[in-house]
């Protein structure tokens, strides 16, 4: 289903702090990854965009077409990481009020010290459909996330929704990498007639 033109009225207007998650086990596993592990996973990633700069990704789930979040697939890494990540996804869905949810894109993102993700908006009109969520796993006080018009530091273990329809950017002015778990979430089964959607197509 092509979801362009549908606007989710439940998305945050900027940042939304959804509380602390127990990420200790995932943090430990992430810290076991060495530079070669990151290079290997990054070489196979399907998301290659100039705005991401030097960000390295370990992609677990992705979509076949960016305009169709209901058509996702699991990459080989998902089998290994699912036991650690799936409970966090389910907890996030519960905090959004969803009894059942889909998670079309799931990944780890590592932004090296001194690097930045330049200001951009995600993928045209598609980002209006799912929630976009970040969980900081490793960070430092000099990492800041921008969602127009605000810069904010996301502390470790916080679950934060960001509005990726707005211009956003990240800068890591610290001396250590920043690693986030990043994923998208929407209620399943999808019902675009629900009161929390505007269903007027624009294409």
- 3-state class (DSSP) for residue 25: helix
pLDDT of residue 93: 96
Strand locations in 2-54 (E): 7-8, 15-20
Q: What is the pTM of this model?
A: 0.90
CA-nearest of 37, 56, 34 to 47 is 56
Q: How far is CA 94 from CA 73, 90, 184, 190, in A?
A: 22, 6, 14, 16
Q: How far is CA 170 from CA 54, 73, 148, 150, 177, in A?
A: 12, 27, 12, 11, 12
Q: How confident is the model at residue 1 (pLDDT cuts 50, 70, 90)?
A: low
Is there a contact between 131 and 184 (Cβ–Cβ < 8 Å)? yes
Tell me the mean pLDDT in the region 165-182.
96
Prior bond to 189 cis, omega within 30?
A: yes
Question: How many CB atoms are located within 10 Å of the residue 26 CB?
Answer: 22
Count the residues in the chain: 203
CA-nearest of 166, 136, 133, 135 to 149 is 166
Q: What are phi and psi of 128, to 5 degrees?
A: -65, -15
Q: What is the pLDDT of residues 111-166, one digit of tens each?
A: 999 999 999 888 655 667 789 999 999 999 999 999 999 999 999 999 999 998 88
Domains of the chain: 7-151+158-198 (2.60.120.10)
Q: What is the pLDDT of residues 79-97, one digit of tens each?
A: 999 999 999 999 999 999 9
Most confident range (mean pLDDT) of 13-22, 43-52, 193-202 is 13-22
More confident residue, 47 or 2: 47
Residues pairing with 110 in the sheet: 56, 179
Q: Which residue has the tokens 């940042």?
A: 15
Prior bond to 49 cis, omega within 30?
A: no
53: left (phi over 0), alpha (psi -120 to 50) or beta: left
């Amino acid at each position: 289903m092509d979801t362009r033109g549908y606007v989710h009225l439940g998305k945050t207007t900027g940042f939304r702090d959804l509380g602390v998650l127990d990420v200790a086990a995932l943090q430990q596993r992430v810290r076991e990854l060495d530079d070669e592990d990151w290079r290997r996973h990054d070489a196979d990633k399907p998301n290659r965009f100039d705005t991401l700069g030097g960000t390295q990704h370990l992609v677990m789930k992705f979509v076949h077409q960016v305009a169709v979040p209901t058509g996702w697939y699991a990459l080989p890494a998902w089998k290994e990481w699912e036991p650690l990540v799936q409970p966090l996804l389910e907890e996030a869905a519960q905090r959004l009020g969803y009894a059942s949810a889909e998670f079309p894109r799931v990944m780890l993102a590592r932004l090296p010290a001194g690097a930045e993700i330049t200001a951009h908006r995600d993928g045209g009109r598609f980002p209006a459909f799912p929630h976009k969520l970040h969980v900081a796993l490793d960070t430092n006080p000099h990492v800041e996330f921008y969602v127009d018009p605000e810069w904010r530091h996301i502390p470790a273990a916080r679950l934060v929704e960001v509005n990726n329809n707005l211009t956003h950017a990240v800068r890591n002015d610290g001396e250590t990498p920043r690693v986030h778990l990043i994923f998208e979430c929407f209620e399943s089964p999808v019902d675009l007639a629900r009161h929390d959607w505007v269903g007027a197509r624009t294409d």
